[in-house]
Amino acid sequence: MSTQGYEEELRSEQDYVAGLYTRLDAERARVKGEYDAALRGTGGTAMERDIEVRALAKEVKRLDVADNGLCFGRLDTTSGEHSYIGRIGLFDEENDYEPVLLDWRAPASRAFYVATAANPENVRRRRQFHTRGRRVVDFTDDVLGRPDGSERGDAALLAAVDAPRGDGMRDIVATIQAEQDEIIRLDHPGVLVIEGGPGTGKTVVALHRVAYLLYTQRERMERHGVLVVGPNPAFLNHIDRVLPSLGESDVVFMTPGDLVPGLHVTAEDTPRTARLKGSLQILDVLAAAIADRQRLPEHPLPIELGEVTVRIDAETAEWAIQEARASGLPHNEARTVFTEILTWVLTERAIARIGRGWLTRQDRQTWEDMRADLLTELAEDDTFTAALDELWPVLTPETLLATLYASPERLRAAGADEALWRADGDAWTVSDVPLLDELIDLLGRDKAAEDSAEQAAERERKAEASYAAGVLDVLVDRQDSMDDEDHLFATDLLYAEDLADRFVEHDTRDLAERAAADRDWTYRHVVVDEAQELSEMDWRVLIRRCPARSFTVVGDLAQRRSEAGATSWQEMLEPYAPGRWAYRSLSVNYRTPAEIMTVAAALLAESAPGVQPPESVRARGVQPWSRRVTADELPAAIDDFVRDEAGREGTSVVIGPPGVPGTAVPVPPSEIKGLEFDAVLVVEPERILADGPRGAAELYVALTRATQRLGVLHTGPLPQVLAGLAETGPPIQARSQRSA
């Protein structure tokens, strides 16, 4: 194309995209008007108005996010037709709703991502736009079907991966590659495992898959929502913009420590303890710990009943325990069976003693009347209640587990390893979450406490509704007593009616808020990132959250640091989804330059010789460096890196073990998994490697976070696996020079 022809095409494309924005603005104005009207509306019930407002608010958000990069490409077919591809679909209402912009998830858009010279998919040309705001800056064309078999151009992709990083992960909707698109659109109803090394885009592919599923299965998935589980809050903050940028908001983000609502994780287990808690063998410990709290009395417990004394002896309690366990009910609910057996025995014994000599079974009515009186007396007897609490106490997951951990005697009784002991029983760790979640089902509900709470809530609801109705009555009375010249504004009456209506019980929280607060909420789909770290017990929690077993699982076994984590996808997933899981891998590294990946690959070859590192899509021409410094020089060297990077565009991070001095405190590798930065400084790699079996995985993670520049500082000898790093680091500036 000549320069003049290119400029004419560019103007033509700019005009078309400008027309798309005109349509977007008109649609946004229409929806915003409906949203404002709904906020002011008074028709229908409060619940109906809330539903309408939430639906319109969601549509407003969807249209707002589409403004950034609305249209990013065009497809020309061999038959002469062309179509534009973008974030959302737009239609010409005056022309039978002819599409003027195809949603990237629509089937007709697929060729934009997968067409190649070898398999052009009836595409003659693929055009990719480079936009800034609403302006088309330039475009590149991939002409397919050429005799030389040339493949798709990489201009748009390389521009995206070379761009400086911002505060969070960006979507890749404009640059999805063929191997990624295949996974995003894969029609698999069970568990899909996406494995890939650092920088292969597995996380962002999983998130785009969620957006695709929500688009193609909207009605099925929207009512229950999607759960995304990530390793830590920093990771979730990094990725939480991707789905909203694609117009999806019915998504709940959690770490494994958030899966039991209201629980606060404050401690960390040793690797051995985490492995014990993550194994399915801990289920036997939990069951034994519950059974240990179902006790026989050491001595018969006397109960004063109907002016006689009856006793709960070991034989009676053992019968009651057997019946309660045989009921199959959870512990707290089986307490009712235990209580019924004891009650029957005690009242029978009391009646027999009270009526000795004159009362027989034939005096049925007298017998039943006496039993009724004794039952009432027993239910109000504090001694009997105390006996129940001693022999079959109501338990919460927290109280059971905390007292178990803090008691060597209870641990021995439950057959638990002594490594589970800790002085502060309720200093919760992430590994405790699946145990507490398991205990919720094993213990069941405390029905008495729930009934009491429900009664209190009902009294409060009635009081609020009564107050609202009273406000309405006062306003109506004022209206009736006014002269014709005085009047009460109709909006005052409408406000009062709305006030009373809103006290009719309904939940106004959005789906994400309701789901996050409800332990029993089940999701239609779950995404699990860094899944290689999850234990067998972790998976039991997640399967409860998604009974349909519809998962997108993202991980890399070579990066596993947890001793309780997966060593094989087959062994971990087959028990939970037998025959219903599929495996896909990503082989291209879009993040890490080849120069840095060469260093990381040498470490991988040593620590995981059977794992093939991903192939980098680009080289930067910037070699990673290392520098040996003294302990006294280390803080100054870290400060120099931080200062130098502060003057560059993009992001940077210092990664290292705890206890390294410096103005910038190094971040442990475990806290930056899944994140990416333009520049990375790894401090004391020899100390990271020395952290047991997980040290190599930690260092591998640290080395592969950089998208542009990597440096290493070390006070001891450089580990042999990093011998490929040249000792060419920048000189350390003197403190006086830095001050100046």
The answer to whether 312 and 301 are in contact (CB under 8 A) is yes
The answer to whether 85 and 112 are in contact (CB under 8 A) is yes
310 DSSP β-pair partners = 303
DSSP conformation letters of 161-203: HHSPP-SSPPP-TTT--HHHHHHHT---SSEEEEEE-TTS-HH
Other C-beta atoms lying within 10 Å of the C-beta of residue 533: 24
How far apart (Å, rounded) are the C-alpha atoms in residues 415 and 413?
6
715, two tokens: 């006070």
How far apart (Å, rounded) are the C-alpha atoms in residues 501 and 52?
16
Task: Provide φ and ψ at 589, rounded to 5°.
Answer: -90, 110
What is the crossing angle of helices 46-65 and 490-502, to 10°? 90
The answer to whether 244 and 252 are in contact (CB under 8 A) is no
Helix (H, G, I), strand (E, B), or coil: what is residue 536? Answer: helix
CA distances from 379 to 582, 706, 711 (A): 57, 68, 73
B/e letters for 159-198, b = 16+ CB within 10 Å, e = fewer, are eebeeebeeebebbbbbbbebbbebbbeeeeebbbbbbbb
How far apart (Å, rounded) are the C-alpha atoms in residues 266 and 546?
27
Residues in the chain: 740
Say what the alpha-carbon torsion angle 529, 530, 531, 535 is, to the nearest 10 degrees.
-130
How far apart (Å, rounded) are the C-alpha atoms in residues 73 and 112?
8
Diameter of the chain measured on Cα atoms? 120
| Angle CA 604–605–606, to nearest 5 | 90
Other C-beta atoms lying within 10 Å of the C-beta of residue 258: 20
Q: Give Cα 357 distance to the centre of its chain.
A: 70
The answer to whether 344 and 351 are in contact (CB under 8 A) is no
End-to-end distance of the chain based on CA atoms, in angstroms? Answer: 55
Question: Which residue numbers belong to the known binding site?
Answer: 196-203
The C-alpha R_g of the chain, in whole angstroms, comes to 33
The answer to whether 500 and 467 are in contact (CB under 8 A) is no
Question: Which residue numbers belong to the known binding site for ATP?
Answer: 196-203
404, two tokens: 């178990």
